Amino acid sequence: MSSRRASFLDGARTVAPVMVGIVPFGLVAGAAAVRVGLSGLHAVGLSVLVFAGASQLAAIELLGENAPAAVVVVTVLVINLRMTMYSASLAPYLQEFSTRWRAGMAYVLTDQAYALSVTEFRADESVDRKWYYLGTAVPLWVVWQICTVIGVVVGARVPESLPLEFAVPLTFLAILVPTITDSPSAVAAGVGGSIAVIGAGLPLNLGLITGAVTGVVAGLVVETGWFR
């Protein structure tokens, strides 16, 4: 029990600095939902059900434009396809746990929880993986929901001039930079980010997925030396 508690607290301490970016991110999601006409109940329900910042913002934008429900759902699924790669990467470390536990862990999977957990798992084989992962993921879920609710409540009173949206890319940069430790990861980040920016105007946010896949391929090419 002490080992579980220690691992959970270690995870929570590791994720604590990331919360600085999560707070304005959650406020943006809540406030944006109110601004496009969603009720408070719908906005909070979306946050609990989807629990994915980038997807929520994309869905809210489309709902504000009265896009068909099918388009909203497909867009959310496309943006969240990156979670498939995260899950595949984490699977070898978590395969010993029951299906029920892994399903619950999948629900709270985020970019931040993945990046911090997989880094720790690779560095320390003795860590209690389940509880370390939950230590990074659960606090994120709690803070996100609270900030979304606050964003819904203060929604219309948040000045348009306040650049809360700027916290979104900063949050992702904060977890990306520490993971760039060698040439393959640097190439993957550079190529993937560049392609995603270039393809930002593609429908259904396909630029994001194209950038992710291209980045993975580029990193793999460098790592395996295919270009030699």
Tens-digit pLDDT profile for residues 41-98? 888 998 998 888 778 887 887 888 787 888 888 878 877 877 888 899 999 999 999 9
The whole-chain average pLDDT of the chain stands at 82
Q: What are the residues whose beta carbons fall under 8 Å from the beta carbon of 93, sequence distance 6 or more?
A: 117, 118, 121, 129
First and final C-alpha spacing in the chain = 51
225 or 91, greater pLDDT: 91
- 111-115, 136-140, 189-193: which is most confident: 136-140
- At residue 104, the pLDDT reads 93
For residues 2 and 122, the answer to whether their CB atoms sit within 8 Å is no
Distance CA 127, CA 124 (A): 6
3-state secondary structure of 196: helix
Q: Which helix (H) or strand (E) holds 169?
A: helix 167-176
